[in-house]
């Protein structure tokens, strides 16, 4: 197994990218890295959907990776990093793999090509070409409601045979498809859910973990859900899940990651809730709802 295969389990955090006045907020990024490295997460995803990766310039993305790695090196715990990449041009993505080959990462999370809607044969050829080219292992990202193309299980199982394709972030939005994949996958092929609201359900079905935006909040509880499930304590895991299940709806009430950024700003973890267009900050109505929820949870913990 590759190192990433061994590490791709448990609770992974798709870290938000903090901005201030239009620029990467390095001070807040260091604060986030220190905070979450000390929590019960098992890895970071950087520059993917939750990290607004499609708005990041290459120099910003490189700086993002360098800061997170540097901050972890200065701390007590070093976690694996997957770099999020996406695009609809296979050749350009191969160039991106070359450009990032010497960055201090452990692998890539690569989404399906968006907009062009390739056939399954096209998806197979696309991902095999990337896997053949990449210096680091690949985890695939199946999210058809964003890309307009679903990687079928038949295609996924063929891709899972590639030595450099080690896992999947599963946002396929079909429990039936997910269960069948978990049943039929090769033993070493990792499957993590990317559907926050289905985190407990996916673990109960046999997923290896989750890549969960909502775990920016109540991180220890999300980690405990996985830990209890891993120990076979289904009822205990369900009880912990009930503590955070509502967060997975609240934080997606408006386009993500704006609600999570607002929450982190109100709690002092980032210095601004700023997002980049075409994302916009949360509405005043949602801001008030989040404020009430923060106050309620603060009071309950007191």
Residues that are catalytic: 141, 169
Q: Judge whether 50 is annotated as a binding position.
A: yes
Q: How far apart are CA 163 and CA 132, in angstroms?
A: 9
Q: At what angle do helices 90-99 and 120-133 cross, to 10 degrees?
A: 20
Q: Which of 215, 207, 286, 201 is nearest to 248 (CA)?
A: 215
CB atoms within 10 A of CB 163: 9
Q: What does the buried/exposed string (b/e) look like for 40-69 if buried means 16 or more CB atoms within 10 Å of the residue's CB?
A: bbbbbbbbbbbbbbeebeeebbbebbebbb
Give the distance, in angstroms, between the CA of residue 14 and the centroid of all CA atoms in the same chain: 3
Structure tokens at 81: 């990093």
Q: How far apart are CA 283 and CA 51, in angstroms?
A: 20
CB atoms within 10 A of CB 104: 13
Q: Judge whether 45 is annotated as a binding position.
A: no
DSSP H helical segments within the chain, as ranges? 3-7, 26-37, 58-74, 90-99, 120-133, 144-147, 153-159, 175-184, 199-205, 219-230, 234-250, 258-266, 284-301
CA dihedral angle for residue 258, residue 264, residue 267, residue 271, rounded to 10 degrees: -90
Please give the annotated binding residues for pyruvate, written as ranges: 50, 211
């Amino acid at each position: 197994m590759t190192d990433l295969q061994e590490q791709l389990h448990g609770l992974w955090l798709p870290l938000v990218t903090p901005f201030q006045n239009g620029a990467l907020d390095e001070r807040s990024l260091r604060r986030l890295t220190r905070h979450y490295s000390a929590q019960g997460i098992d890895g970071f995803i950087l520059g993917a959907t939750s990290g607004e990766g499609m708005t990041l310039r290459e120099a910003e993305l490189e700086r993002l990776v360098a800061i997170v790695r540097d901050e972890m090196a200065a701390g007590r715990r070093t976690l694996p990093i997957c770099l999020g990449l996406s695009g609809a041009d296979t050749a350009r993505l191969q160039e991106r793999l070359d450009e990032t080959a010497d960055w201090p990462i452990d692998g890539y999370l690569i989404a399906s090509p968006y907009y062009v809607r390739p056939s399954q044969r096209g998806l197979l050829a696309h991902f095999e070409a990337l896997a053949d080219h990449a210096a680091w292992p690949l985890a695939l990202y199946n999210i058809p409601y964003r890309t307009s193309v679903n990687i079928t299980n038949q295609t996924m199982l063929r891709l899972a045979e590639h030595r450099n394709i080690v896992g999947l972030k599963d946002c396929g939005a079909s429990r039936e498809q997910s269960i069948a994949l978990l049943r039929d996958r090769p033993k070493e092929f990792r499957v993590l859910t990317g559907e926050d609201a289905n985190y407990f359900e996916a673990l109960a079905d046999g997923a290896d973990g989750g890549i969960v935006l909502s775990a920016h909040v109540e991180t220890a509880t999300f980690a405990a859900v996985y830990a209890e499930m891993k120990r076979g304590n289904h009822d205990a895991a369900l009880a912990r899940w009930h503590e955070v299940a509502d967060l997975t709806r609240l934080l997606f009430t408006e386009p993500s990651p704006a609600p999570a950024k607002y929450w982190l700003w109100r709690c002092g973890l980032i210095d601004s809730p700023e997002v980049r267009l075409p994302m916009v900050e949360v509405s005043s109505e949602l801001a008030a709802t989040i404020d009430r929820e923060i106050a309620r949870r603060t009071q309950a913990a007191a």
